[in-house]
Structure 1
Amino acid sequence: MKGAKSKTETRSSKLSVTKKPAKGAGRGKAAAKDPNKPKRPASAFFVFMEDFRETFKKENPKNKSVATVGKAAGDKWKSLSDSEKAPYVAKAEKRKVEYEKNIKAYNKKLEEGPKEDEESDKSVSEVNDEDDAEDGSEEEDDD
Structure 2
Amino acid sequence: MKGGKSNAKADNKLSVKKGAAKAGRKSSKKEKDPNKPKRPPSAFFVFMEEFRQQYKEKHPNNKSVSVVGKAGGDKWKSLSDAEKAPYIDQAEKRKKEYEKKMEAYNKKLAQGSSAAEEDESDKSRSEVHDDEEDDEGSGEEEDDD
The two structures have a TM-score, normalised by structure 2, of: 0.62
The number of residues matched between the two structures is 100
Q: Aligned in 2, Cα 1:27/1:60: closer, same or farther, shift over 3 Å?
A: closer
After TM superposition, give the deviation of residue 100 of structure 1 in Å. Answer: 0.4
Normalised by the length of structure 1, the TM-score is 0.62
Q: Indicate the structure with greater helix content.
A: 2
For structure 2, the 5+ residue unaligned runs are 1-12, 116-145
Q: Secondary structure at the match of 2:66?
A: helix
Check if 1:52 corresponds to 2:61.
no
Between the aligned partners of 2:25 and 2:57, the Cα distance in structure 1 is 49
Counterpart residue number, 1:73: 72
Give the drift of 1:29: 2.9
Q: Radius of gyration: which is bigger?
A: 1
Q: What residue is the counterpart of 1:99 in the other structure?
A: 98
Root mean square deviation of aligned Cα: 2.5
Write the deviation string for residues 40-63 of structure 1: whole angstroms up to 9, x where unpaired.
Answer: 000000000010011101111111
Q: Following superposition of structure 1 onto structure 2, how do residues 84-95 of structure 1 map, counting pairs within 5 Å?
A: 84-95=83-94
3-state DSSP class of the match of 2:29? coil
Query: Partner of 2:40: helix, strand, or coil?
Result: coil
Task: Tell me the distance in 2 between the aligned counterparts of 1:26 and 1:101.
Answer: 32
Q: What does residue range 1-143 of structure 1 map to in structure 2 within 5 Å?
A: 21-22=20-21, 25=24, 28-113=27-112
Rounded to whole Å, the distance in 2 between the matches of 1:110 and 1:103 is 10
| Pairwise CA distance, 1:23 | 6.6
Q: In 2, distance between residues paired with 1:24 and 1:32? A: 15
Unaligned runs of 5+ in 1: 1-16, 117-143
2:118 — aligned with what? none
Q: What secondary structure, in the 3-state scheme, does the structure 2 residue paired with 1:63 have?
A: coil
